[in-house]
Amino acid sequence: MKKIYLSVLGFSLLCRINGYAQTKSDTALNKPTPSLYEPIHIEGDPPVYNPRALRVDEVNFVTSYYTQNGNHSAVTGGIGTEHVTDFANALTLNLVWGDAATRKNTLAFGLGVDHHSSASAAFVSKTGASKTGGSRVYPSLDWTTENAQKGTSFGIGSYYSGEYNYRSLGADLHFSLKTHDRSGEFTAKFQGYFDHVTLIYPSEFIPQPTVTTTTVTTVTTASGRTISGSSGGEDGKANIPSSPRNTYTASFGYSQIINSRLQVALLGDVVTQNGFLSLPFHRVYFKGGKDTIERLPSSRFKLPVGFRLNYFAGDNVIIRSYYRYYTDDWGTHANTANLEVAYKLSPFFSLSPFYRFYTQTAAKYFAPYEQNLPSQQYFTSNYEYAQFNSSFFGIGARIVPVGGVFGWQSLHDLEIRYGHYSQTTGLSSDVVSFSFGFK
Amino acid sequence: MVKVLACGLLMMSAASCVQVKEYQKNKLNDAEMALSNRKVEKNELNFQSYREAASGANAGKTGGGCGCN
């Protein structure tokens, strides 16, 4: 019995000592209440991580290889090879600073570099001697500030794109506003592109200078505009003039959570373009065989409206759907439907087969090779404006392992996607893309 | 176009929206559920805007910025 008393006494004493074990050397009771947003700092530790400091949030790299074949090139008036290859690469870097609880700032740098080859480009020159390859470089910069408490965001962006026959400068303003219960969000974006199309004509249509001095060359473009280009260079050759093309877009969107598995979004753009909207090296052959260059109106109004619906079915299947109706004042009406079913084989790996159907009516200025009439005001044989249907199908895979892709902790996710595209015009293409996400 | 707009609005308003708490959003917050294009689709959207007359309403290009229309 004495042993039992002593054991109980010893055990209670031990508990008593343990109860004070932390209070002697630690001053936990004097510490401030821990916050979700403020890291706990223990004296003697290295300086705390400050979430307000500028840091790299995410880096993404997308690379694609695209190849295409067809037999309706616009360069040769709606006949001839459309073989194209394109190697496209885009890098985005997101820097974040500020307090996630109140105001968060994101600075997104983007840089894209594409290199393409186009077999039909050789025939800008009648002899097929023009260069068939080119590169495009397109950097971008976007700043967004987000107020998590108010559920609002505001940002501005800028873009540049340059290639041998096209230059573009763009800017935008964008903002968003969440509903009071955070189940819906309204977004708006106002965008302007200020482009210049270099007036590279087919060799047989290179305009002869109408007025020439030592410094200024004036040419008349396909649309009847008169443009002056300055002479330059030691060889005395005139610089090729360019013509402006402006695009203004107002984009609106509203997304809504319907329940814990379903969310939808309604999207719409109002687009107006003006300037030189055709491309100067696109030929048109009239009935009878006489050729000229494409001529299209100097303004265009576009109105696309889209609807997205995503549904999480069961535990492993996600249905992603999209529909768009499009109309413009050149007479084209188009419908696009896209369905993708993502199947999660594990929480970290999913496969996503997809199918996209597209149909459009012809623009009123389109006619095939030798079908346009010289009496028409506007004409094109670019099959982009023809009536056709197209199908695009393929499969994607997404890998997001806990320890990083291939064990590389920084490589957060990897997406691979292949698609085959075919038009009823005979054009077909294949594209394979890889997306690498780094954290 | 008006019909499409009306249908979209009707679907959204007719659907009985349920208040979803933050802790119930694990499925909605899945990356595959994002109401946007996948990053890996970026270049696909570019080539579609070159080959087809229609563009826009998909957070992609609406014209301008490249030699496409």
Look at A54-63, A101-110, A226-235 and tell me which has the smallest mean pLDDT.
Answer: A226-235
CA atoms within 13 A on the CB side of A119: 14
On whether residue B57 sits in a domain, the answer given is: no
Other C-beta atoms closer than 10 Å to the C-beta of A423 total 21
Q: What DSSP line would sit under A303-337, residue for residue?
A: EEEEEEEEEEETTTEEEEEEEEEEEETTS-EEEEE
Give the separation between CA A94 and CA A239, rounded to whole angstroms.
Answer: 39
In a domain, A221, yes or no: no
**pLDDT category, A407, cuts 50, 70, 90?**
confident
Residue A137 domain-assigned (yes or no):
yes
Which 35-54 residues of chain B touch chain A by CB within 8 A?
A: 35, 38-44, 46-48, 50-54
Residue A222's pLDDT band, with cuts at 50, 70 and 90, is very low
Among chain A residues, CA nearest to B1: A325
Tell me the residue range of the domain where A279 lies: 68-215+241-438
Mean pLDDT of B25-30: 91
Domain count, chain A: 1
d(CA B41, CA A311): 20
Say which residue, A200 or A394, is predicted with more confidence.
Answer: A394
Q: Could you give the number of structural domains in chain B?
A: 1
C-alpha dist (Å) from residue B15 to A384, A386, B20: 38, 38, 14
In a domain, B16, yes or no: no
Which domain covers residue B35, as residue numbers?
26-50
Q: Is residue B42 part of a domain?
A: yes
ipTM score? 0.83
CATH number for the domain spanning A174: value is: 2.40.160
A364 part of contact set with chain B, CB < 8 Å: no
Closest partner residue to B4 (CB to CB) among A246, A325, A360 is A325
- Predicted pLDDT of residue A123: 86
- Give tens-digit pLDDT for B29-40: 999 999 999 999
Q: What letter represents residue B33's amino acid?
A: M
User: Does A110 map to a domain?
Assistant: yes
Helix (H) or strand (E) holding B5: helix B2-14
pLDDT at A30 exceeding the cut of 50: no
A299: number of Cβ within 10 Å: 13
Residue B2 maps to a domain: no
For residue A193, give the nearest of B32, B54, B14, B66 by alpha carbon: B66
Mean pLDDT of A116-122: 89
Q: What is the dihedral of CA A191, A196, A202, A203, to 10 degrees?
A: -170
CB contact under 8 A, A305 and B17: no
Suggest the residue from B3, B9, B32 to mutate for an interface test with chain A (most A CBs closer than 10 A).
B32
pLDDT of amino acid B1? 57
Residue A304 lies in a domain: yes
Contacts of A414 (CB under 8 A, 6+ apart): A398, A399, A400, A405, A434, A435, A436, A437
Q: Is the pTM of this model over 0.90?
A: no
The answer on pLDDT for A35 being more than 70 is no
Q: Which residue of B has its CA nearest to A305?
A: B57
Say which DSSP state A205 is in. Answer: G
Task: Dig out the tokens for A290 from the structure.
Answer: 């006489």
Out of A245, A360, A429, closest to residue B53 by CB? A360
pLDDT tier at B15, thresholds 50, 70, 90: low
Q: How far is B37 from chain A (nearest CA, A)?
A: 10
Please judge whether B8 and A266 are an interchain contact, meaning their C-beta atoms are less than 8 angstroms apart: yes
pLDDT band at A290 (very low <50, low <70, confident <90, very high): confident
- Which sign, positive or negative, has the C-alpha torsion A40, A43, A44, A50? positive
Q: pLDDT tier at A24 (50, 70, 90 boundaries)?
A: very low
Which of A79-83, A321-325, A403-407, A412-416 is the least confident region?
A403-407
Please indicate whether, in this complex, the C-beta atoms of B32 and A88 are within 8 angstroms of each other.
Answer: no
Average pLDDT score over residue span A230-239: 44
Residue B66 covered by a domain: no
Instruction: Please report whether residue A8 resides in a domain.
Output: no
Is B43 contained in some domain?
yes
The Cα A432–Cα A397 span in angstroms is 12
- Test A266 with B44 for CB contact under 8 angstroms: no
Tell me the mean pLDDT in the region A59-83.
94
Question: Does B36 map to a domain?
Answer: yes
**Position A77 in a domain:** yes
Q: In what order do the strands lie in the sheet with A226-230?
A: A211-212, A216-220, A226-230
For the stretch A248-278, pLDDT in tens is 999 999 999 999 999 999 999 999 999 999 9
The answer to whether the Cβ–Cβ distance between B20 and A183 falls below 8 Å is yes
Tens of pLDDT, residues A84-104: 999 999 999 999 998 766 789
B30 located within any domain: yes
